[in-house]
Amino acid sequence: MTEYNGYSLRLYVAGQTPKSIAAIANLKKICEQYLTGQYEIEIIDLMKEPALAVRHQIVAIPTLIRQLPEPLKRIIGDLSNTEKVLVGLDIRPN
Amino acid sequence: MPESNRDPKLPLFKDADETVQAIHRGDIDAVVVMRALGGPEVILLHGAEEPYRLLVERMSDGALTAGPDGVILYVNDRLCELSGYPSARLVGSDLASLFEGEPPKFAPEVRAEASLLRNGDDALPVAAWSQPISIGGTTTTLVWLTDLSTHRRAEQIATAERFARSVLEQATEAVVVLSPDGYITHASGRAEQIAERPPVGCMFSEAFALEAQNTEDSGALARFSTESLDILLATKPFHGVEAKLRGERNAKSAFLLSAGPLVDDNKANVGSIVTLTDITDRKRAEEQQTMMVAELNHRVKNILAIVQSVAAQTVRSSDSLEDFADAFTGRLKALATAHDILTQTRWIGIGLSELLAAVLAPYRSPDEARVSIFGPAILLPARAILPLSMVLHEMTTNAAKYGALSTRRGNIEITWQVSGGVDKSIELVWLERGGRKVKASASAGFGTKLIDHVISHDLDGKTEISFDPAGVRLTIAFPVGGLAKRGAAASGAATE
């Protein structure tokens, strides 16, 4: 795996449920504002591939996983509480 | 969860607790469960299922949802098909990046056109529609894209053509489709039959030469020259104008002309459908009915006039109410009998000998030669039957009261001749013998007045009555306007 210095984030969603949509939007917003240019986001739709839930033991949707930097962090919910997301991902405001 | 696949870096209990908390707080709207056999399954929690989502999934158009900042949040399978990219590649990317060149300006209810970039293929022309929607408190935009490529367009047109053609083939009416400038683009079989020339490609007026039928409609049609009529039919609605088509082929047919314009999605005129409904039978039935009603009116008036006249005259000659009742009833019965005859022969008429036989039937028993009827076959016109019946009734009544039928030895001889070529006339002689002697004065009562009146007034004929001591002799002559039975031979043989 190549060295990546930024945030590698993986968001697990379920198709177009309201919270899934909200989570995607909110995550993008937060990343643009606080991690400009230093992030990559992967959206996993578990409606299409439920088996992928196993890797990170996803039970609740939406769930955001911070893969990088380590350690793994998990935040459950639609990410509408920005403060909570920043704390949970351990992002220092610029 | 199977232990072997689990990421070893995950803390255990803390996460489980957090998940439960999240569910309690309502922060999530779907969960993953393990099925007994087989892998994990996503269960949506109540309220999460958006009806529109199913619609979007299944649409035959490509659809996507984008956030307020233009980030694609979701794409349906069809869009992946159209673009050739997997959803993972498209979700999270910018909406504008889907398109070649300038991205379309999305506004609700407005159709934009754009070029969709495709993986390993030329950009695809698409029509884009957008609609803002709110999902879970976030305002997003739903965009859907329709494949406009010529290939698809050609397919659609071909399907529409086939459909239109099969509809026209089934049509039993004459139907044509006009382009906006008045040219016939499609025609049903019936339309081809009644047209002056093969209709497709002609202007409507070239294929169908119209003539309006009644004065209101001829106003409507005549106001327009053929050129403007063509344009009118292609662009304006036209309902139920009666028309005929010039030419021998369609001379006997009547049509109802209707036109309805066709509009496309943008409310632009794309032509019209013009129908010529054959109403020949309907019109004929209408005309017949009008005629029949008029005829009926006429006949009823006739009979009422006759009854009135008979009543008036009977009153004048009756000495008492009883007298009147007797006489009037008798005459009405004669009228009724005559009317019956007319109805049975459907008002066509009856032969003179048949009429005589019917009226005199009560006085002709097989073994008595009291009444003899002899003369050539001649068909009496309908108009002559009532008057003649009246006359015969009078003569018979008089004969029964005072004349040949009032004695056992009296008899009546009725003979007639037909003369004239085209304008035939009948001369009938009624001769009584062996009855009581009658005096001229006594007999100049009503009966003869009636007879005279009826023959001259209703039959255009002449009467001559003489009161020979031997018996009454009546001669009547009247025209029958050239109606004679074919194969005229002497009929009404003398009775024995």
330-359 in B: which are within 8 Å (CB) of A?
none
Lowest mean pLDDT among B277-286, B353-362, B440-449: B440-449
Per-residue pLDDT band at B15 (split at 50, 70, 90): low
- B94 — contact with chain A (CB < 8 Å)? no
- pLDDT at residue B483 greater than cutoff 70: no
**For residue A46, what is the nearest residue in chain B, using CA coordinates?**
B42
pLDDT tens digits, one per residue of A3-53: 778 899 999 999 888 899 989 999 999 999 999 989 999 999 999 999 999
Structure tokens at B435: 């009855």
Q: What is the model's pTM?
A: 0.39
Would you list the domain boundaries of chain B? 3-44, 63-148, 173-278, 285-491
Question: Are both B63-148 and B285-491 of the same fold?
Answer: no
**For residue B26, what is the nearest residue in chain A, using CA coordinates?**
A77
| ipTM here | 0.87
* Closest Cβ–Cβ partner in B2, B31, B88 for A60: B31
For residue B448, the Cα-to-chain-centroid distance in whole angstroms is 56
- B15 — contact with chain A (CB < 8 Å)? yes
Q: Is the dihedral of CA B162, B163, B164, B166 positive or negative?
A: positive
**Which secondary-structure segment (H or E) carries B341?**
helix B321-344
**DSSP characters for B396-447?**
HHHHHHTSGGGSSS-EEEEEEEEE-SSS-EEEEEEEEESS----HHHHTTHH
pLDDT score of B222: 61
Which has more confidence, B427 or B226? B427
Q: What is the mean pLDDT of residues B256-279?
A: 83
Asked whether B246 and B211 are in contact (CB, 8 A), the reply is yes
Q: Do A43 and B28 touch (CB under 8 A)?
A: no
What is the pLDDT of chain B when averaged over all its residues? 79
- B27 — contact with chain A (CB < 8 Å)? yes
pLDDT score of B414: 94
- pLDDT at residue B314 greater than cutoff 60: yes
**For residue B53, what is the nearest residue in chain A, using CA coordinates?**
A16
pLDDT score of B10: 47
**For residue B38, what is the nearest residue in chain A, using CA coordinates?**
A51
**For residue B88, what is the nearest residue in chain A, using CA coordinates?**
A43
Place of tokens 């036209």: B238
Per-residue pLDDT band at B354 (split at 50, 70, 90): confident
Nearest to B196 by CA among B211, B206, B186, B183: B206
Give the angle B302-B306-B310 at the CA atoms, nearest 5°.
170
Which superfamily does CATH assign the domain made up of B285-491 to? Histidine kinase-like ATPase, C-terminal domain (3.30.565.10)
Q: Do A77 and B28 touch (CB under 8 A)?
A: yes
Give dist(CA B34, CA B42) in Å, integer: 9
Nearest to A45 by CA among B16, B45, B73: B73
Q: Is the dihedral of CA A71, A74, A79, A85 positive or negative?
A: negative
Q: Enumerate the H helices of A1-94 as residue ranges.
A: 18-34, 82-89
Residue B65 CA: distances (Å) to CA of A15, B75, B475 = 11, 7, 109
The size of chain A, in residues, is 94
Structure tokens at B396: 């018979």
Class of domain B63-148 (CATH, top level): alpha beta
- B41 — contact with chain A (CB < 8 Å)? yes
Nearest to B463 by CA among B472, B471, B454: B454
- pLDDT at residue B17 greater than cutoff 90: no
Give strand pairing partners of A54: none
- pLDDT at residue B416 greater than cutoff 90: yes
Q: Looking at beta carbons, which residues of chain B come within 8 Å of A76? A: 18-19, 22, 27-28
Other Cβ atoms less than 10 A from the Cβ of B221: the count is 18
Q: Do A45 and B135 touch (CB under 8 A)?
A: no
Q: What is the mean pLDDT of residues B57-84?
A: 83
Q: Looking at beta carbons, which residues of chain A come within 8 Å of B42? A: 14, 46-47, 50, 53, 61
Which has more confidence, B339 or B151? B339
Give strand pairing partners of B132: B141
Give dist(CA B237, CA B220) in Å, integer: 13
pLDDT score of B495: 34
Number of alpha carbons in the 13 Å side-chain half-sphere of residue A45: 18
Q: Which of these CATH numbers, 3.40.50.10470, 3.40.50.850, 3.30.450.20, 3.40.50.12160, describes B173-278?
A: 3.30.450.20
Q: What is the mean pLDDT of residues B27-35?
A: 80
Which has more confidence, B31 or B349? B31
Q: Do B7 and A48 touch (CB under 8 A)?
A: no
Q: How far is B23 from chain A (nearest CA, A)?
A: 8
